[in-house]
């Protein structure tokens, strides 16, 4: 089996809908998904640096043929890629939106958000959003080959900042890197898992 490391998004889990759809598709091609729980140390006390450290530890354990990151997991994948040399597939990644983390939340601490893994409103400490506003994992282009998959109707991250970041990266990207524009695709992209699966197959060949 060909191992890949899949990093889920914010307020999600290793049992997300996208993961459940992708796993059997990729298994047919001998691709095995390792999907660590990135709610570290917990969702309520989420810490980006500890999330990245956990993901790096998992990458060293499984030696993935590719690192796949969805939404916030895309930023985590970029951070992991600084020390683990494997191609990247970034699905609706949170690129170029550091200033959005604080501007879109209400005052107070903790902040209550909808957690898709739990199917309920859950509190999370304000420090996480303050931390994310300073994360610069997307400032420099990755050194390895990267495929970015982005829906034009993404309601969460937004298509424009991701496309802008890609344009800034483009002159410096590794051969074979590409941007996949999914017309009408939303943030979840669950209706387009075939596109995601094709990209993962491509980088694991």
73-125 per-position pLDDT tens digit: 999 999 999 999 999 999 999 999 998 999 889 999 999 999 999 999 999 99
The pLDDT value recorded for residue 52 is 98
Distance of alpha carbon 72 from alpha carbon 90, whole angstroms = 10
Q: Which residues are bridge partners to 115 per DSSP?
A: 120
**Are the beta carbons of 146 and 41 closer than 8 angstroms?**
no
Is residue 34 pLDDT above 90, yes or no?
Answer: yes
In three-state secondary structure terms, 4 is strand
> Which domains, ranges and CATH numbers included, belong to the chain?
2-204 (3.40.50.1820)
DSSP letter, residue 73: H
Distance of alpha carbon 98 from alpha carbon 139, whole angstroms = 10
DSSP H or E segment with residue 190 = none
The pLDDT value recorded for residue 115 is 96
37 φ/ψ angles, rounded to the nearest 5 degrees: -80, 115
Model pTM score: 0.97
Is residue 160 pLDDT above 90, yes or no?
Answer: yes
The pLDDT value recorded for residue 86 is 98
Is residue 153 pLDDT above 90, yes or no?
Answer: yes
Q: Where are the beta strands (DSSP E) in the chain?
A: 2-7, 31-34, 66-70, 88-91, 111-115, 120-124, 146-151, 178-182
The pLDDT value recorded for residue 123 is 97
Distance of alpha carbon 80 from alpha carbon 82, whole angstroms = 5
- The percent of residues in the chain predicted with pLDDT above 70, rounded, is 100
Q: On the CB side of 203, how many CA atoms lie within 13 Å of its CA?
A: 29
């Amino acid at each position: 089996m060909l191992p890949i490391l899949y990093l889920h998004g914010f307020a999600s889990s290793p049992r997300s809908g996208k993961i459940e759809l992708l796993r059997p598709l990729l298994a047919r091609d001998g691709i095995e998904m390792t999907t660590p729980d990135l709610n570290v140390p917990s969702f309520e006390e989420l810490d980006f640096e500890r999330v990245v450290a956990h993901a790096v530890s998992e990458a060293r354990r499984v030696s993935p043929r590719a690192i796949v990151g969805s939404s916030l997991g895309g930023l985590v994948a970029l951070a992991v890629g600084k020390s683990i040399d494997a191609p990247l597939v970034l699905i609706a990644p949170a690129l170029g939106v550091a200033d959005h983390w604080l501007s879109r939340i209400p005052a107070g601490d903790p902040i209550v958000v909808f957690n898709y893994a739990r199917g309920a409103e859950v509190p999370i400490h304000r420090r996480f959003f303050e931390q994310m506003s300073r994360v610069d994992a997307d400032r420099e282009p990755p050194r390895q080959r990267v495929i970015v998959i982005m829906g034009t109707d993404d309601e969460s991250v937004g298509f424009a900042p991701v496309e802008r970041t890609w344009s800034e990266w483009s002159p410096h990207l590794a051969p074979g890197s590409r941007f996949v524009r999914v017309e009408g695709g939303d943030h979840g992209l669950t209706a387009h898992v075939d596109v995601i699966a094709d990209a993962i197959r491509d980088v694991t060949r």
